[in-house]
Chains A and B, each alone.
Chain A
Amino acid sequence: MTYFITQFINGLQIGAIYALIALGYTMVYGIIKLINFAHGDLMMVGAYIAFFALSNWGLPIYLAAAVSMVGTAILGVVIDRIAYKPLRDASRLSALITAIAVSLLLQNACMLLFSSSPRRFPTVTANLPTISIGNSTVNVIVFISIALAIALMIILNLFVNKTRIGKAMLAVSEDMRAAQLMGINVDFIVSLTFAIGSALAAFAAVLYLFSYPQIEPYMGAMPGIKAFIAAVLGGIGIIPGAMVGGFLLGIIESMAKAYIPSAFSQVTDAVVFLVLILVLLIKPSGLMGKPEKVKV
């Protein structure tokens, strides 16, 4: 039982990271119907910014995280303005291909700037206590990570549902043209969405580095893909869906690693992708999604 609990906590931790990244995917998709494939790479840029803020400028970890969130948010907005905005009225496929190009651009730019050799993120867990669960131990940082992620999600939910700007965001995702006619500044809302999504990705990067302290230009690819699956699992475009999907995927992944016998342990990664296939086959709109009405 304690084994199950430990593995469940492991799953929650990685799930919280997936959820934060998935939120960026889902919010952007909700507003402009674009799957921003560069989103995982924004997380990678966030990791580099946090790294430099921490090691080169000597900032404390919470300030480094803040600098990283602001920097990545600005980058997200700039990318939208330069790469996606001109294609707002073009076909969705063109925008998707542009997103892939942006992803490659970010990866290769970072490889050029920082070399492809991985860097070690300083350990922040060294002086933190560990908690024993049965005969396993869990570092307090795991609980801190999960708590921070959940806190951020609650704030986001309050922001979207309670504030005027948040409601404007929902309105734009409902019907962009109608929202515009109602006097909502759609361009501002889109930029804001990119900024929030990117900042969340940067925050996810910092949480990621707490436990997996290595930074390299391709580090965003795998978490990006898995977070995308989490967004689809929860129902892409739906904010609570991304949160549920992220946690669920993290737990599924952790349980697969924990309970699939050693002899078959190579297949654990496939389980995550199997989830994507099953969702697309059984309920393409995702767990929390409503089937889309076809307008004639």
Chain B
Amino acid sequence: MNMKQAFKKVMAVSMAAAFAVISLAACSKSSSSSSDEIVIGGLAPLTGSVSLYGKATTNGAQLAFKEINAAGGINGKQIKYVVLDEKGDAQEAITAYNRLRDQEKMVALLGDVTSTPSLAVAQRAVQDNIPMLTPTSTDAQVTLTGDNVFRICFIDPDQGTTMAKYASEKLGAKTAAIISNASDTYSVGLTKAFTEEAEALGLTITASETYGKDDKDFKSQLTKIQQTNPDVLYCPDYYETDILILSQAKEVGLNIPILGGDGWDGILNVTEEGNPQEADGVYFTNHFSESDTSEKVQNFIAAYKEEYDEDPVSFSALGYDAAYMLAEAIKNANSTDSDAITSALQSISYEGVTGSISFDENGDPIKPILIIKVDGGEYTVADKMEIER
């Protein structure tokens, strides 16, 4: 079976090489962008296990750019938003990034969506000095890569610490157990922050179990956790895995509140047909909620529904805010020069649908964090917590 994996790698590399040749061949034919257009590159997983995030994010960004272009663009220039699919894979993301840089001549990058490919791409963006604004990568390392890397969403440690605080202060938990994905930077990051904050607040961590990338069987770990009788279970992973953990937790008789990060957003899309109450009792930290009544949010929701005939999720809202902030920065810079855009982003202050956003010295946002509770098969806002960093 090792042969099989090795073979897959060889296949992947040779396929990548073949694509590289094809895109090089295509390169000579593609017209360079005309000067009355500003090209913004986009990277997102449009297929694969996290495609729901990728589609939602690019939908949000596309809607924003459409609105901006309809209102006259940036200083008279129209925005051309070119999104490439990276299937949630770091290798594919690099290939797509190279194409956006060489072929499309992007002035700024909006992306990537999940943390692992974003980390890979951020290094390239810093080398090439291309301003990069990721709407949704929550791994702390992404913006530390360089000064020209920014993000709209709060970072992994913020989610972990805030949830630990919420569990202790608002849910009255005395003990907590953790189940996390050891091969995913997002899951590991949230776990670390949650553990540290929980211990600082006097919570006892009764068990901290892990699993691997392709695992579907969590019953042994959950049985082990169940034996330690915790008050809450912290489970920071993406919804496709979360739903499996949720159903297996019930199967082994573990009926306690399950807490998570923004990866849980979308859980109601994968619950069993006709049974959205399956996810009741789940709390997770998030960026945006549809139940927010502010005019800006409601206008966004209405526009999004009209454009795509579906409800926006956090990722759509973050994509939307990211697109507006990039456009605003380019407008403020009055130039498509990389350094000018970067410094415009550093001093920006923007009122978006995910709250009022400005950047700290690392390029991380200063904004509030929402605690969402799934109740009666719907997302409800349980609380709004200020980030303490």
> A: which residues have CB within 8 A of B?
3, 6-7, 10-11, 13-14, 37, 55, 100, 103-104, 115-118, 120, 122-123, 125-126, 130, 132, 135-139, 208, 211-214, 216, 218-219, 221-222, 225, 228-229, 253-254, 257-258, 262, 265-266, 269
Contact A115 B210 (CB under 8 A): no
Closest 7 CB pairs of A and B: A137-B253, A257-B220, A212-B216, A225-B1, A266-B182, A10-B219, A265-B210
| CB<8 Å pairs between A and B, sample of 29 | A3-B227, A7-B223, A13-B219, A37-B4, A55-B273, A116-B47, A116-B51, A117-B51, A118-B270, A120-B271, A120-B273, A123-B272, A132-B253, A135-B229, A137-B253, A138-B251, A211-B251, A212-B248, A214-B243, A225-B1, A228-B1, A253-B220, A258-B220, A258-B223, A258-B224, A262-B207, A262-B208, A262-B209, A265-B209
**A-B pairs with beta carbons under 8 A, tally:** 118
Contact A136 B253 (CB under 8 A): yes
Query: Which residue of chain A has the shortest Cβ distance to B87 in the bound complex?
Result: A116
The answer, yes or no, to whether B375 is at the interface (CB within 8 Å) is no
Please give, as numbers and ranges, the residues of chain B lying within 8 Å of A253 by CB-CB distance. 220
Given contacts A219-B216, A258-B223, A262-B208, contact A212 B253 (CB under 8 A): no
CA A138 to CA B250, docked complex, whole Å? 10
Tell me the chain B residues, 286-332 only, with Cβ under 8 Å from chain A: none
CA A100 to CA B220, docked complex, whole Å? 31
Contact A213 B244 (CB under 8 A): yes
Contact B212 A269 (CB under 8 A): yes
Q: How far is the CB of B255 from chain A (nearest CB, A)?
A: 10
Q: How far is the CB of A281 from chain B (nearest CB, A)?
A: 15
Contact B251 A139 (CB under 8 A): yes
CA A249 to CA B299, docked complex, whole Å? 56
Contact B240 A136 (CB under 8 A): no
Please give, as numbers and ranges, the residues of chain A lying within 8 Å of B214 by CB-CB distance. 218, 221-222
Please give, as numbers and ranges, the residues of chain A lying within 8 Å of B8 by CB-CB distance. 104
CA A118 to CA B49, docked complex, whole Å? 7
Known contacts A116-B49, A123-B272, A135-B229; 17 further A-B pairs (Cβ under 8 A):
A6-B252, A7-B220, A10-B220, A10-B223, A37-B4, A117-B52, A136-B252, A137-B251, A138-B251, A211-B217, A212-B216, A222-B214, A222-B215, A229-B1, A257-B224, A258-B223, A262-B207
The answer, yes or no, to whether B48 is at the interface (CB within 8 Å) is yes
Interface residue from B47, B210, B252, B253 paired with A266 (Cβ < 8 Å): B210
Please give, as numbers and ranges, the residues of chain A lying within 8 Å of B7 by CB-CB distance. 100
Interface residue from B4, B240, B248 paired with A211 (Cβ < 8 Å): B248
Contact A100 B223 (CB under 8 A): no
CA A147 to CA B372, docked complex, whole Å? 42
Q: How far is the CB of B225 from chain A (nearest CB, A)?
A: 10
Query: Which residue of chain A has the shortest Cβ distance to B271 in the bound complex?
Result: A120
Contact B3 A100 (CB under 8 A): yes
CA A216 to CA B214, docked complex, whole Å? 11
CA A104 to CA B11, docked complex, whole Å? 10
Contact A254 B220 (CB under 8 A): yes
Contact B51 A103 (CB under 8 A): no
Query: Which residue of chain B has the shortest Cβ distance to A209 in the bound complex?
Result: B216
The answer, yes or no, to whether B221 is at the interface (CB within 8 Å) is yes
CA A13 to CA B248, docked complex, whole Å? 13
Given contacts A118-B49, A120-B272, contact A136 B226 (CB under 8 A): yes
The answer, yes or no, to whether B356 is at the interface (CB within 8 Å) is no
The answer, yes or no, to whether B334 is at the interface (CB within 8 Å) is no
The answer, yes or no, to whether B247 is at the interface (CB within 8 Å) is yes
Contact A214 B272 (CB under 8 A): no
Q: How far is the CB of A127 from chain B (nearest CB, A)?
A: 12
Contact B240 A118 (CB under 8 A): yes
Q: How far is the CB of A229 from chain B (nearest CB, A)?
A: 8
Query: Which residue of chain B has the shortest Cβ distance to A99 in the bound complex?
Result: B4
Interface residue from A120, A137, A212 paired with B270 (Cβ < 8 Å): A120
Interface residue from B51, B217, B252 paired with A14 (Cβ < 8 Å): B217
- Per-residue CB contact flags for chain B residues 65-82 toward chain A (1 = under 8 Å, else 0) read 000000000000000000
Contact A212 B217 (CB under 8 A): yes
Query: Which residue of chain A has the shortest Cβ distance to B210 in the bound complex?
Result: A265
Q: How far is the CB of B339 from chain A (nearest CB, A)?
A: 39
- Per-residue CB contact flags for chain B residues 1-19 toward chain A (1 = under 8 Å, else 0) read 1011001100100000000
Given contacts A104-B11, A135-B226, A257-B221, contact A216 B49 (CB under 8 A): yes
Query: Which residue of chain B has the shortest Cβ distance to A262 in the bound complex?
Result: B208
CA A11 to CA B223, docked complex, whole Å? 12
CA A220 to CA B270, docked complex, whole Å? 20
Please give, as numbers and ranges, the residues of chain B lying within 8 Å of A225 by CB-CB distance. 1, 4
Q: Which of A3, A6, A221, A262 has the most CB of B within 10 A?
A: A262
Given contacts A37-B4, A265-B210, contact A211 B243 (CB under 8 A): no
Please give, as numbers and ranges, the residues of chain B lying within 8 Å of A212 by CB-CB distance. 216-217, 244, 248
Query: Which residue of chain B has the shortest Cβ distance to A132 in the bound complex?
Result: B253
Q: How far is the CB of A206 from chain B (nearest CB, A)?
A: 15
Interface residue from B227, B240, B270, B275 paired with A135 (Cβ < 8 Å): B227
Query: Which residue of chain A has the shortest Cβ distance to B241 in the bound complex?
Result: A214
Given contacts A117-B52, A118-B49, contact A123 B11 (CB under 8 A): no
Q: How far is the CB of A241 from chain B (nearest CB, A)?
A: 18
- Per-residue CB contact flags for chain B residues 252-276 toward chain A (1 = under 8 Å, else 0) read 1100000000000000001111010
Q: Which of B221, B223, B226, B252 has the most CB of A within 10 A?
A: B223
Please give, as numbers and ranges, the residues of chain A lying within 8 Å of B275 by CB-CB distance. 123, 126
CA A125 to CA B271, docked complex, whole Å? 14
Q: How far is the CB of A183 from chain B (nearest CB, A)?
A: 38
CA A7 to CA B225, docked complex, whole Å? 12
CA A61 to CA B252, docked complex, whole Å? 23
Please give, as numbers and ranges, the residues of chain A lying within 8 Å of B272 by CB-CB distance. 120, 122-123, 213
